[in-house]
Structure 1
Amino acid sequence: MNLLNPVSAFNEWTDHFLTRYLVRKGRLQRLQLDAYRSYGTASRIYVKGRLLGDRGLQPQTATDSGWRNFRSMVRRFNSREIAGADLVAELPDGSQHLVTTDDEGYFTLILKPQALPAPAAYLWYPISVRVARLPPPFGPGQPAVQATASVLVPPPSAEFGVISDLDDTVFETRATNLFKMLARTLLSNAHSRQPFEGVAAFYRQLQRGRTGQPDNPFFYVSSSPWNLYDMLDEFMGLHELPPGPLLLRDFTIGTPRTTPPPGITGSAAIHFAHKLHEIDDILTTYPMLPFVLCGDSGQEDARIYREVVRRHPGRIRAIYIRDVQVPARALLVGPIIEELKVAGVPMLLVPDYAAAAAHAAAMGLVA
């Protein structure tokens, strides 16, 4: 028995009790419907989001103090989830689908449209989602709450897809040092964080591949919690990273959905299981599309990607692991590089993205 499960259950119960109390006292009048970017095909699309009490987040700038960023971060994590609400999602073909939010306010839909029209924006389809019914103790006459989810559907001309980590791959988090990681996460915002030099340009090269058209889809798989979605989404837009679904993790205590390899325990096991589960789903959704994987040596990316190669032989074109300059972590990557070389999959431990771009060009992945 996992002794953490009762702790998680108690935490959920107290959250729901406080939410109901605030509703009865009239202190939770504004709601916020988050519709996350997701992905799919012409015949099967995936939609995910969350219904919360409005967190009162204000626009942030690069000059905001660490204290203001910290207060915003507290609001992100001190969320009031709305469980048991009925939502209606409308597809571009006009069909409507009902879904109910779970105990953490999340909703997930896997839909099969009859026919998709041309995308409203290149590669992206809008899915309208609205609240149809709120559970007690909400009364009648609540303001309308709606949002639009954007669903990525790669075109037939896509040469390959790209799956990338975020922390210490796109921007510095110092995940190998708990205190430095917390400081960077809690005291910064989308404007004050900076991407690694060359990462945005390299990713745009991969998006355009050999044809020069931005056809190659990007997917960002991270163990960061969904509470940070708005900040990460804004960061990507500010620094012109290729837009793609952000596949994050629920910030709750629980057991991994996938059994990790021997020797991986605790938070590393949850990180491993989450990322492997999401990557499995992506590769299963696009069985004819090869992929490039990008990560870093700070956590478990090299071992996760080795397992992806084992599960999906012939699907991975190249793997780029950014060196976080921790020698002990680099030593763990070396044997995996040699192992994958035998499997015919190049994995590179790169000091910067100029080295990754040069290799991608030599392989013919980019023009």
Structure 2
Amino acid sequence: MQSNGTTDTRMNTADAFGRWLRAFAAGLEQDVDQLKDLLTDPVAPANVQILPYAGYRNDRELRVSGRVVEYRPPLAPADDVLDKLLAMWAIYNSREVGGITVRCEAHGIDATCISDEEGYFQFTLSVDRPLPGRTTWENVKLSAPGHDAQGELTVPILAPGSDDRWAIISDIDDTIMETGATNFAANWRRIVLEQPGDRLAVPGSADLYRTIARDHASPTRPFFYVSSSPWNLYGFLTQFMELNRIPHGPMFLKDLGIDAGKFIDAGHKTHKLEAIRSILRFYPQHRFLLMGDNGQQDVEIYTEVVREFPQRIGAVFIRDVTGECAAGANATHLAEMASLGVQTHCAASFADGVSILRSLRIDNPVEATRASGEGAAA
């Protein structure tokens, strides 16, 4: 039998090697970035562009973020294969600009922050502002003082309503948008060639989401999207949702950079769990519907969420992309969630999802609010 001392030594050695590998990769990425900066001209003030991401708030705090990049003229509509390849390359090959002062004006607050080396910036502002009765989009202003070619931007901020305590957390790939994430070749073809207008919505997803929201353009229930897609695809995904009339909402995507504390980025499961926990803690009075698929750990992730927040999850909707709803680990996880009092729905499409909504009384705003309150108090 192997001694605990030997096991601990091997684990410590593996951890040390992992730390060294992350530090090496981070240093290599930094060297490559510095070389690119040396070989390219500095970004002129007139070419600085803010790419804002939709924010959100509760009655105490407002969060909004974005990225500063070099402005590039939009490409012409992509028709042939080469044009589509160039269009997708432009999305992924953005030139980030660090060290830029970004200004945010929100509800009488005037704040600034500095974009980091990857161009990202984030505001977390203290507010004293009750949530509205009905879910609504408010606005803040973002600008880059001294880099005024773009002008001031109006950025939407989601303020969930207090009269209906239901909210939705949804995956994106193979949950609302067909990607073939479980099929390597199909997934990569879509990644490198297909534009937002080429992508197909998952059957039944748009109708179900509009039923939940009541109005895709101005949803009466808040939607949050958690995905392992990179932030470079934020505009792409926003356009896809608009084209398919899927309710808009703040997105929690991934940074594909490298630093000494993470190799490439947080893993798929870790990223999603942290994002979902953050949303649930930010809105303690809301109950949530979790929407996902069984292709990339959503069932496992949602089961862990239900274990931690059993009274906060009203139902779990899983799109079956593997044909294994009733078998293996997926079936075990679904059964565990059901045993904890959470309704589950797993099928090849969301076409039958409306019947689950009726059982939750979510189609009746008065009863939905009452049911939500009872669940939160339980």
What is the TM-score normalised by the length of structure 2?
Answer: 0.83
- 1:52 corresponds in structure 2 to 69
- 1:103 corresponds in structure 2 to 117
Contact 2:132–2:161, Cα closer than 8 Å, also in 1: no
Offset at 1:10? 2.0
- How many residues end up aligned between the 2 structures? 344
Contact 2:141–2:155, Cα closer than 8 Å, also in 1: yes
Question: Which amino acid in 2 is paired with 1:314?
Answer: Q
Matched, 1:246 2:216: no
Moved more, 173-182 or 235-244: 173-182
- 1:10 corresponds in structure 2 to 28
Contact 1:66–1:188, Cα closer than 8 Å, also in 2: no
- 1:354 corresponds in structure 2 to 351
Matched, 1:37 2:43: no
In 2, Cα distance between equivalents of 1:83 and 1:359: 47
- 1:334 corresponds in structure 2 to 331
Deviations 1:110-169 (A, max 9, x none): 1013447989x96111111111257xxxxxxx7355423211011111231000000010
Contact 2:142–2:154, Cα closer than 8 Å, also in 1: yes
> 1:133–1:311: structure 2 CA closer, same or farther, 3 Å change rule?
farther
Question: Which amino acid in 2 is paired with 1:76?
Answer: I
Within 5 A, what are the aligned runs for 1:252-267?
Answer: 252-253=257-258
- 1:263 corresponds in structure 2 to none
Contact 1:297–1:329, Cα closer than 8 Å, also in 2: no
Moved more, 72-81 or 3-12: 3-12
In 1, Cα distance between equivalents of 2:191 and 2:138: 31
Within 5 A, what are the aligned runs for 1:113-152?
Answer: 113-115=127-129, 123-132=136-145, 143=149, 145-152=151-158
Matched, 1:223 2:220: no
In 1, Cα distance between equivalents of 2:146 and 2:54: 23
Structure 2, gaps ≥5 residues long: 1-17, 365-378
- 1:314 corresponds in structure 2 to 311
Question: Which amino acid in 1 is paired with 2:113?
Answer: V
SS at match of 1:230: helix
- 2:278 corresponds in structure 1 to 281
- 2:166 corresponds in structure 1 to 160
In 1, Cα distance between equivalents of 2:73 and 2:141: 23
Offset at 1:353? 1.1
Structure 1, gaps ≥5 residues long: 135-141, 258-265
SS at match of 2:201: coil
- 1:261 corresponds in structure 2 to none
Offset at 1:105? 0.4
- Of all paired residues, the percent bearing the same amino acid is 31
Matched, 1:290 2:287: yes
Offset at 1:21? 4.4
In 1, Cα distance between equivalents of 2:109 and 2:44: 35
Moved more, 339-348 or 288-297: 339-348
In 1, Cα distance between equivalents of 2:76 and 2:333: 43
Question: Which amino acid in 2 is paired with 1:42?
Answer: D
Moved more, 11-20 or 338-347: 11-20
Q: CA RMSD in A?
A: 2.9
In 1, Cα distance between equivalents of 2:150 and 2:175: 39
In 2, Cα distance between equivalents of 1:174 and 1:155: 35
Higher alpha-carbon Rg:
2
Matched, 1:189 2:195: yes
In 2, Cα distance between equivalents of 1:5 and 1:57: 36
Deviations 1:272-305 (A, max 9, x none): 0111111111101100100000000110100111
In 1, Cα distance between equivalents of 2:255 and 2:351: 34
> 1:144–1:69: structure 2 CA closer, same or farther, 3 Å change rule?
closer
SS at match of 1:235: helix
Question: Which amino acid in 1 is paired with 2:53?
Answer: Y
Offset at 1:268? 11
Question: Which amino acid in 2 is paired with 1:22?
Answer: T
What is the TM-score normalised by the length of structure 1?
Answer: 0.85
